[in-house]
Structure 1
Amino acid sequence: MLRPLRPDGGASRAAIRIERIVTLPEGIEDLAADALGDGQRMLQVLCEDWHAGTLRFDGWGDALFAAHLGTALVGLCGLTRDPYLPDEVVGRVRRLYVLRAARRAGVGRALVQAVAEQAVGCGYPRLRVRAPVAAFAFYESCGFLRAVGEKAATHVRPLPAPAA
């Protein structure tokens, strides 16, 4: 059963903790079950890929971030080199999911910010994502622009050059 994290359904932004992870975190099964209940298979696929060794977010330019509120895992988001542009070094936002009970509390935005900061550090000139229509407004509020003429992407976010 999903319970709101505050009486108004939100969570304190100050309580969000984002960490880069190198193993699947405790609570991934519950988060994946929440995603399935929301009609999303992305975390089930993430777990399958992880266990098969096909995607562990451990290559050059890759990272996986977990969001916690207190001790609870409430979100995940990854970064990889975009596999749909093999001739171009561009970052791709992968598997962003936020627990339904933790939405509208800044968790997704904090995860995207962590991915963007990592992408800048890797020297990616931009990030790309293929988002469902329901997430278009969210990505646009995070600085992404609608992709025009982009293969396998709905949105693109230009990034600043890394600091020298």
Structure 2
Amino acid sequence: MEQFELRQIKNLLDINCTELIMESKKEGFRFLKRLINDYKNGTNTFNKPGEFLYGVFNKKGLLIAIGGINKDSFSTNKQIGRLRRFYVSKDYRRKGVGRSLVTRILKDASEHYEIIVLYTDTEHANKFYTSLGFIKDNSVLKSTHYLNL
């Protein structure tokens, strides 16, 4: 089994995200490009209290997965966090990489939030998140799933 390193990303601009962004764009996802743009312009740098950005790196040091948590900007409830910009490279799916990443994010999030929400529009992601205990429900604005911590 291949070795992976999961670590908090302190400065996204120090990480080579090019391959992961290109792969995600080929799959029709634009949110990793948005992640970089938001980070560069300071809109979202995952540096407020309770916000974290994590990456998973393969044994060659390449970024193979990324995901973060922010306070939910669509809610006034400060106890709601939003899982954001979550992506796992196709070659590393179904190998525990995504599960490890979500587990680590939720562990850190539990110190700051009571509820975690997310938005997805793919059936594969729906199955993944529900397997982790998320409930499919859109009662929280601009979300499709939630998890009570």
Amino acid of the residue matched to residue 60 of structure 1?
P
SS at 1:121 equivalent: coil
Find the counterpart in structure 2 of residue 17 from structure 1.
5
| Cα separation, 1, equivalents of 2:71 and 2:35 | 16
Q: Which amino acid letter does the alignment assign opposite residue 21 of structure 1?
A: I
CA distance in 2, matches of 1:60, 1:77: 17
Q: Could you tell me which of 50, 72, 79 is aligned with 1:82?
A: 72
Write out per-residue CA displacement over residues 29-88 of structure 1, whole angstroms, 9 at most, x where no aligned residue: 111111111110011000000111110000111000001121221000000000111244
User: What is the SS of the residue equivalent to 2:110?
Assistant: helix
Q: Which residue of 1 aligns with 2:34?
A: 45
Q: How does 1:106-145 map to 2 (within 5 A)?
A: 106-122=96-112, 124-134=113-123, 135-145=125-135
Alignment partners' CA distance in 2, 1:113 and 1:157: 12
Normalised TM-score (structure 2): 0.92
- Of the three residues 32, 48, 52, the one matched with 1:63 is 52
Which consecutive residues of structure 2, in runs of 5 or more, have no partner in the other structure?
Answer: none
Q: Percent identity?
A: 28
Q: How far apart are residue 155 of structure 1 and its match?
A: 0.5
TM-score (norm 1): 0.84
* Aligned counterpart, 1:27: 16
Deviation at 1:148, TM superposition (A): 4.7
1 CA distance for matches of 2:79 and 2:148? 13
Cα displacement (A) at 1:142: 1.1
Question: What displacement does 1:115 show?
Answer: 0.9
The count of corresponding residues between Structure 1 and Structure 2 is: 146
Paired with 2:128 and 2:8, the residues of 1 have a C-alpha distance of 22
Deviation at 1:102, TM superposition (A): 1.2
3-state SS, counterpart of residue 151 of structure 1: coil
Q: Deviations over 1:76-112 (max 9, x none)?
A: 0000000111244211100000111111111111111
Between the aligned partners of 1:103 and 1:27, the Cα distance in structure 2 is 20
